[in-house]
């Protein structure tokens, strides 16, 4: 697609030189041939341009779509612990700001590098064929342009890295600010946070402005060198015409071709640096083909291992010398815990706030993997159990309930197929019956974003139903009835304790 404009450019130079050549040779046949050529060019050039444009747009669309899929899959493939090392807003920034920056720099740069490089090479070759001395002079000046652009490469790459960093910080700060907007308004501290936000705006724009300054400086230096090249070519061709060695048509063609070398090289070397800089963005988004597909060969042994792992989740859970310390903590939150939880048993974990109850649950579920000691299921280390299989056989009820912007049914089933009997059982045991009776559409009621049209207790009951319907071998609940009234809470607790699983 990028070579079509190159063809058009070369043909334009030839057409202009041919028309000027007619001023010296005005035979009727020459004029007839020129008219045919002009009509053909007038019809063909726009067609090539339109075809080239559609091909480039299609390439950009497909590449961006694949890149967004790759980036999203990479985020989904992160472990719980890896995912939580960064703010949610940083991942949103990757899918928006980083990809937008990549789109702006990469495609414009790539297409211009191909077009400008092709145009310069073809034009330089034609000049060398017509006049070797002029061709060698232009090649030498092109080398100077290359060296100058190389000088600007590192500063430009660093500026793009800084923009990426400031974009992520900006998204994080704004996300935190909007999350606490209610508290800010209620306490009349808008001015303080507006001042902080202004500082973030200035930091981001300063990083972008520095990048723009480097780009403009590079462009101006390259433009001045190209102007010298164009004027030098004009002087050389004029001298050769005076000596009678060049015809008017030849002189015009060489001037056109020299321009096709000089000015595209400005774009080529400038965009080349931007292309290198955009590669940094691409590397932060890129994942391997294996990550993208997530495909694993399914064999009989794989099926047996999955069945074995599921069976292990219903057996005894043994913690031996289990210790855990957060990265920034001065001492472990859990230290050398030894305990055996019998398969099918029901256990209540009590402790003061901050004593490590939720951390212990995260360790048992494998959410945190950098622990010391052992966590064994049926005598098999947790680290040896397939993560996907473990998730299939485990149900969680967390304090922080997330609901999807879809029906209550889909929020309970999580887009999997369950029978009406299974759904009714989960609804009954979770205490959702009274809520559904009040809703005209029942299970088909659409929830707003994150279920904001439900109370805390109603959200909690959907989370409980979600865990019950899974019919897993292991259920881990973190303050399961904290948002419920005491009577309903006791009723739901009793229903959970009667489930045939380890709780």
Q: What is the DSSP string of 195-246?
A: HHHHHHHHHHHHHHHHHHHHHHHHHHHHHHHHHHHHHHHHHHHHHHHHTTSS
The average pLDDT across 295-299 equals 42
- At 333-389, the pLDDT tens digits run 888 888 888 888 888 888 877 788 888 888 888 778 788 888 888 888 888 887 777
pLDDT on residue 474 = 85
Does 49 have pLDDT greater than 80?
no
Q: Which residue, 471, 397, 488, 388, is CA-closest to 434?
A: 488
Residue 380 bridge partners (DSSP) = 377
The average pLDDT across 28-50 equals 64
Higher pLDDT, 80 or 237: 237
> CB atoms < 10 A from the CB of 301, how many?
9
Q: Which residue, 271, 219, 279, 220, is CA-closest to 114?
A: 271
| Domains with residue ranges and CATH for the chain | 65-282 (1.20.1560.10), 303-382 (3.40.50.300), 393-503 (3.40.50.300)
What's the helix, strand, coil split of the chain in %, to 5?
70, 5, 25
Residue at token pair 């937008």? 100
> Measured between alpha carbons, how far is 426 from 467 in angstroms, rounded to an integer?
8
Say if CB 74 and CB 291 are below 8 A apart. Answer: yes
- At 481-493, the pLDDT tens digits run 666 777 777 777 8
**Torsion-angle region of 188 (φ positive above 0: left; ψ -120 to 50: alpha; else: beta):** left
pLDDT on residue 300 = 41
Say if CB 377 and CB 312 are below 8 A apart. Answer: yes
Q: Which two tokens stand for residue 480?
A: 């399961």
Say if CB 491 and CB 335 are below 8 A apart. Answer: no
Residue at token pair 């299970």? 443
pLDDT on residue 211 = 82
> Measured between alpha carbons, how far is 222 from 225 in angstroms, rounded to an integer?
5
**DSSP character string of 8-51:** HHHHHHHHHHHHHHTTT---HHHHHHHHHHHHHHHHHHHHHHHH
Buried b (16+ CB within 10 A) or exposed e, 211-222: beebbeebeebb
Q: Write down the number of H helices and E strands in the chain.
A: 19, 6
pLDDT on residue 394 = 83
The average pLDDT across 87-115 equals 73
**At 147, is the secondary structure helix, strand, or coil?**
helix
Q: Which two tokens stand for residue 419?
A: 């029978």
Residue 339 bridge partners (DSSP) = 319
Confidence of residue 289 (pLDDT cuts 50, 70, 90): very low
pLDDT on residue 301 = 45
Say if CB 321 and CB 374 are below 8 A apart. Answer: yes
The average pLDDT across 177-197 equals 71
Does 330 have pLDDT greater than 50?
yes
Confidence of residue 26 (pLDDT cuts 50, 70, 90): low
Confidence of residue 227 (pLDDT cuts 50, 70, 90): confident
pLDDT on residue 183 = 66
Does 40 have pLDDT greater than 70?
no
For the chain, how far is it from start to end, CA to CA, in angstroms?
62
Q: Which of 8-22, 74-88, 213-227, 304-318 has the largest mean confidence?
A: 213-227
Does 177 have pLDDT greater than 50?
yes
> Measured between alpha carbons, how far is 9 from 147 in angstroms, rounded to an integer?
26
Longest dimension (CA), the chain: 108
Does 293 have pLDDT greater than 80?
no
Does 291 have pLDDT greater than 50?
no
pLDDT on residue 224 = 84
Does 288 have pLDDT greater than 60?
no
Element (H, E) at 376: strand 372-377
Does 404 have pLDDT greater than 70?
yes
Q: Which residue, 296, 292, 318, is CA-closest to 305?
A: 296
**At 99, is the secondary structure helix, strand, or coil?**
helix
Residues 6+ apart with CB under 8 A from 263: 226, 230
> Measured between alpha carbons, how far is 360 from 65 in angstroms, rounded to an integer?
40
């Amino acid at each position: 697609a990028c070579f079509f404009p190159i063809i058009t450019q070369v043909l334009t130079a030839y057409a202009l030189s041919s028309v000027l050549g007619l001023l010296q040779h005005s035979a009727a046949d020459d004029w007839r041939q020129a008219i045919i050529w002009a009509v053909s060019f007038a019809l063909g050039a726009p067609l090539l341009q339109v075809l080239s444009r559609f091909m480039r747009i299609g390439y950009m669309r497909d590449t961006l779509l694949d890149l967004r899929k790759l980036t999203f899959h990479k985020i989904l493939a992160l472990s719980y612990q890896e995912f939580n090392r960064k703010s949610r807003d940083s991942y949103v920034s990757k899918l928006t700001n980083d990809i937008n920056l990549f789109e702006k720099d990469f495609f414009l740069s790539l297409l211009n590098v191909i077009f400008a490089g092709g145009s310069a090479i073809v034009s330089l070759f034609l000049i060398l064929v017509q006049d070797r001395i002029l061709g060698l002079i232009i090649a030498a000046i092109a080398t100077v342009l290359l060296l100058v652009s190389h000088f600007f490469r590192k500063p430009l790459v660093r500026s793009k890295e800084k923009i990426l960093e400031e974009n992520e910080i900006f998204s994080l700060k704004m996300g935190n600010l909007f999350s606490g907007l209610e508290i800010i308004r209620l306490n009349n501290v808008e001015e303080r946070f507006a001042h902080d936000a202004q500082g973030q705006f200035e930091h981001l724009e300063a990083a972008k402005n520095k990048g723009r300054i480097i780009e403009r400086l590079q462009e101006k230096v390259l433009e001045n060198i190209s102007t010298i090249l164009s004027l030098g070519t004009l002087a050389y061709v004029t001298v050769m015409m005076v000596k009678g060695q060049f015809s008017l048509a030849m002189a015009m063609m060489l001037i056109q071709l020299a321009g096709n070398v000089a000015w595209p090289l400005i774009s080529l070397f400038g965009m080349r640096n931007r292309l290198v800089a955009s590669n940094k963005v691409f590397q932060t988004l890129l994942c391997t083909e294996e990550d993208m597909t997530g495909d694993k060969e399914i064999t009989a042994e794989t099926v047996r291992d999955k069945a074995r792992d599921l069976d292990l989740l219903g057996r005894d859970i043994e913690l031996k010398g289990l210790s855990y310390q957060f990265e920034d903590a001065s001492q472990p939150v859990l230290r050398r815990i030894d305990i055996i939880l019998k398969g099918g048993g029901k256990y209540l974990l009590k402790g003061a706030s901050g004593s490590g109850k939720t951390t212990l649950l995260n360790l048992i579920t494998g959410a945190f993997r950098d622990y010391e000691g052992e966590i064994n299921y049926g005598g098999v280390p947790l680290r040896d159990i397939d993560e996907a299989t473990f998730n299939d056989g485990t149900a969680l009820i967390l304090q922080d309930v997330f609901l999807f912007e879809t029906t209550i049914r889909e929020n309970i089933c999580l887009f999997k197929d369950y029978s009406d009997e299974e759904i009714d059982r989960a609804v009954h045991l979770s205490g959702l019956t009274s809520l559904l009776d009040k809703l005209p559409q029942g299970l088909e009621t659409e929830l707003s974003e994150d279920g904001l049209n439900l109370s805390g207790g109603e959200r909690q009951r959907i989370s409980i139903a979600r865990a019950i319907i899974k019919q897993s071998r292991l259920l881990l609940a973190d303050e399961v009835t904290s948002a419920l009234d005491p009577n309903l809470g006791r009723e739901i607790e009793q229903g959970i304790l009667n489930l045939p699983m380890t709780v």
